[in-house]
């Protein structure tokens, strides 16, 4: 099981920059700091005292870690362990922090994977669309959630009181758990979505659930990539399908073989070579 999450994937391979990982410090805390010194969230630059120029936003659409490293090292060839000034960091989002951290952990033989779901700690009162890293903590024999985006600046600005290297499961809710809680009547689907766009509900949860299914199959797509069974805002989700996917992703270690077989055999789930980029309103070919 864990072997699948120690090998580089389609988007988590460093490619020609593998040697740049050789000098990285060991351990999840140090690697999260490396990611924080290389990336800045495109929508939270004010916390660092600057406004992101529009021309800098194109990098948020980069999917592979190898291409992220291309951009980072072209702009600044110093070792990855050297933090860049916030205004000179690569513009990205939670997914970019996550895949870079996953890639670095895997390079050190630590099982790691990206999880798509919802964070309840952004001060909106809602559970917001979000990605985090999940790594295998061998001494404790458990998977641990890490929010590599939350550096000291953001922790202070957002009043984060928990350990971001061990995010509680009620603070970050993986998409399958959100789906199951709502279907059981234990949570309100209107609380799960993306409040800046005033969007929420089962359709948004279903989209993130399918992104989580893909990520568990080493396909960490952009947060706005759309394909297959993802419903539109005005469409009902296929409850039978997403009930099943939610059950498979809640404890993925126990169901990984079935999850992978279902993902690979069901065209509604498999990431096609061309997806719809909802932010750019266009079809993107990633392969």
Element (DSSP H or E) covering residue 200: strand 199-200
Tell me how far the alpha carbon of residue 188 is from its chain's centroid: 23
pLDDT tens for residues 74-121?
Answer: 999 999 999 999 999 999 999 999 999 999 999 999 999 999 999 999
Q: For the beta carbon of residue 187, count every other beta carbon within 10 angstroms.
A: 18
Count how many residues are written for the chain: 287
The token pair at 129 is 């669309």
> What Rg do the C-alpha atoms of the chain give, in angstroms?
18
pLDDT at residue 59, as a whole number? 97
User: Is the model's pTM score more than 0.95?
Assistant: yes
Q: How far apart are CA 148 and CA 188, in angstroms?
A: 27
pLDDT of 1 higher than 70: no
Q: In what order do the strands lie in the sheet with 225-226?
A: 225-226, 274-277, 282-285
pLDDT tens for residues 8-25?
Answer: 999 999 999 999 999 999
pLDDT tens for residues 249-266?
Answer: 999 999 999 999 999 999
Asked if 167 and 158 count as a contact pair (C-beta separation under 8 A), the reply is no
SS3 label, residue 275: strand
């Amino acid at each position: 099981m864990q072997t699948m999450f120690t090998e580089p994937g389609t988007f988590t391979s460093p490619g020609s920059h593998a040697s740049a990982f050789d000098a990285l410090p060991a351990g999840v805390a140090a690697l999260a700091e490396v990611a924080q010194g290389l990336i800045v969230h495109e929508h939270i630059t004010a916390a660092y005292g600057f406004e992101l120029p529009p021309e800098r936003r194109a990098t948020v659409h980069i999917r592979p870690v190898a291409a992220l490293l291309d951009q980072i090292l072209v702009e600044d060839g110093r070792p990855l362990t050297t933090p860049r000034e916030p205004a000179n960091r690569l513009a990205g989002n939670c997914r970019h922090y996550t895949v870079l951290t996953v890639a670095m952990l895997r390079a050190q033989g630590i099982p790691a994977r990206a999880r798509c779901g919802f964070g309840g700690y952004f001060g909106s009162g809602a559970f917001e669309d979000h990605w985090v890293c999940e790594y295998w903590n061998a001494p404790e024999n458990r998977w641990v959630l890490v929010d590599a985006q939350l550096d000291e600046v953001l922790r202070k600005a957002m009043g984060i009181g928990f350990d971001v290297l061990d995010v509680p499961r009620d603070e970050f809710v993986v998409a399958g758990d959100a789906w199951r809680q709502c279907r059981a009547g234990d949570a309100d689907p209107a609380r799960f979505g993306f409040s800046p766009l005033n969007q929420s509900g089962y359709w948004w949860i279903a989209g993130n659930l399918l992104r989580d299914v893909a990520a568990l199959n080493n396909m960490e797509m952009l947060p706005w990539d759309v394909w297959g069974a993802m419903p539109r805002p005005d469409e009902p989700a296929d409850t039978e399908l997403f009930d099943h996917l939610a059950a498979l992703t809640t404890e993925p270690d126990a169901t990984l073989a079935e999850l992978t077989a279902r993902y690979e055999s069901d065209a509604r789930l498999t990431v096609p070579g061309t997806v719809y980029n909802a932010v750019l309103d266009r079809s993107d070919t990633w392969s």
